């Protein structure tokens, strides 16, 4: 399925709620319908139609378990939407993360070399200050 179809399907708040619910784990259609009835006042046939739209959009998968239908998130469909949305991500985010890593590395290195070069406490003499001048 296309990312466009998935985004169209997610334009409905009921379908977004279904995807959120299924994001917590697989659920039987009846459980999904019960949640939708409680939260939106939607009947079981309407819940089934919303599940069907999400399935056709490639966002949810269904499997049979006896007479029950178990729905879950279709990871491939969600990944396609994420890939499409990634085009709009902050183009500076990754380079800034790399810069932060390098700055932290530099701070660690300065602390390490600074700690090795100054073994005495602040304000105490190392014996090198004023060397060559009488005390």
What is the per-residue pLDDT across 12-59, written as a single tens digit (0 to 9) for each?
999 999 999 999 999 999 999 999 999 999 999 999 999 999 999 999
Residue 1 pLDDT: 62
The whole model's pTM is what? 0.64
- Residue whose tokens read 């949640």: 35
Residue 89 scores a pLDDT above 90: no
* Domains detected in the chain: 3-86 (1.10.10.10)
The pairing of beta strand 27-28 with beta strand 60-65: unpaired
SS3 at position 120: coil
Q: Is the pLDDT of residue 129 over 80?
A: no
């Amino acid at each position: 399925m296309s990312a466009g179809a998935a985004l169209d399907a997610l334009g409905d708040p009921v379908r977004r709620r279904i995807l959120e619910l299924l994001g917590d784990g697989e659920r039987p259609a009846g459980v999904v319908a019960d949640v939708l009835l409680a939260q939106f006042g939607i009947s079981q046939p309407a819940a089934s139609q919303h599940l069907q739209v999400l399935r056709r959009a490639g966002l949810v998968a269904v499997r049979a378990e006896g007479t029950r239908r178990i729905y879950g998130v279709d990871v491939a469909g969600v990944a396609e939407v994420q890939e499409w949305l990634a085009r709009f991500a902050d183009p500076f985010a990754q380079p800034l993360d790399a810069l932060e890593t390098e700055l932290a590395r530099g701070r660690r290195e300065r602390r390490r070399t600074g700690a090795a070069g100054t073994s005495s406490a602040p304000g105490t003499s190392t014996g090198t200050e004023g060397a060559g001048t009488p005390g």
